Amino acid sequence: MNFHILTLFPQMVEQGLNTSIIGRAQEKGILSVETINIREFTMDKHKKVDDYPYGGGAGMLMQAQPVYDAYLHVVEKIKTRQRPRVIYVTPQGKTFKQEMAKEFALEQDLIFLCGHYEGIDERVLEEIVTDYVSIGDYVLTGGELAAMVMIDSISRMVPGVLSNKESGETESFSDNLLEHPHYTRPEVWRGKEVPQVLLSGHHKRIEEWRKEQSLERTRIRRPDLYEKYLSNK
C-alpha cells in the first residue's frame, strides 16, 4: 500500500512514520510513505503558498495552484485509471473510526492533504478531495499529526504489517467492544496479582473471562459503544 502526503512540513511526517511497525513495513516493501512538499510546486519565486482570504478575515489561506499541481504530480506518478482517494484532514470531516481504517486499507494508493493557516482555497478542495475526515472535535495547527494518526491505524489493517495476524482483529473496537486487560510477568507486582484464570491454561475459561472483561470495560468506559454492541446482537 502506498501513502502520498501533500504537506508543507515533510520532515515532520517522515520522522513520525519511518520508525517502529510502519518503518519495518516500509523496509519489507509492504508499505511506502511518500511526502510531497507543496511549496515545491508554487509558481511564486519566494516559495509563497498562501495569501489573504477574499472578503476579509483573520489569517491566511493556502492557494489552490500549488496544492493542485502537487496532486497532479502524484496522479501522474501512480498512473491509476481510477480517481485516487484524496483524504483532506479537517475538523469539518466525518470522524475517523476503525471501520473507516479497514475501508481505506483496501486501497492501493491513498493521498492525504494536510492544510495549514486558516485552511485551503475551496476550489481546489472541490476539484480533488474525495473524503473529508477528522480525528476529533478539536483544532490542530496543521493536518500532519492527524494524517499520521490515520496512517498508523490504516497500516495496521494491511496484511503483513503486523507480525501476528490476530492482533489487528482482536484489539479495541472489534465488534464495538474495548479490548480486555493484559498482564505479563511478574505474577505479583506491588501486591497486585495476575488473575488466576490467566494462569490456569484453560483456554475456554480464559476466552470467557476476556469477553466478560471486555463487556464490562466497554459498559463503564464507553457506554455509547456498549449500546451499539447490544443493538447489533
**Alpha-carbon distance 177 to 171, whole Å?**
9
The domain segmentation of the chain, as residue ranges, is: 2-155, 170-232
Report the length, in residues, of the chain. 233
Q: What is the pTM of this model?
A: 0.87
| Dihedral (Cα; 191, 194, 197, 198), 10-degree rounding | -170
Fold (CATH) for 2-155 = Alpha/beta knot (3.40.1280)
Rg (alpha carbons) of the chain, rounded to whole number = 22
**Alpha-carbon distance 92 to 28, whole Å?**
36
Give residue-wise pLDDT tens across range 66-97.
999 999 999 999 987 789 999 999 999 999 99
More confident call, 221 vs 168? 221
What's the distance, CA 103 to chain centroid? 12
Give residue-wise pLDDT tens across range 141-150.
999 999 999 9
Name the CATH code of domain 170-232 (choices 3.40.50.300, 1.10.1270.20, 1.10.10.10, 1.10.10.1590): 1.10.1270.20
Which residue, among 150, 154, 171, 116, has the nearest Cα to 6 in the 3D structure? 116
Which residue, among 62, 1, 2, has the nearest Cα to 37 in the 3D structure? 62
Which residue, among 22, 28, 20, has the nearest Cα to 3 in the 3D structure? 22
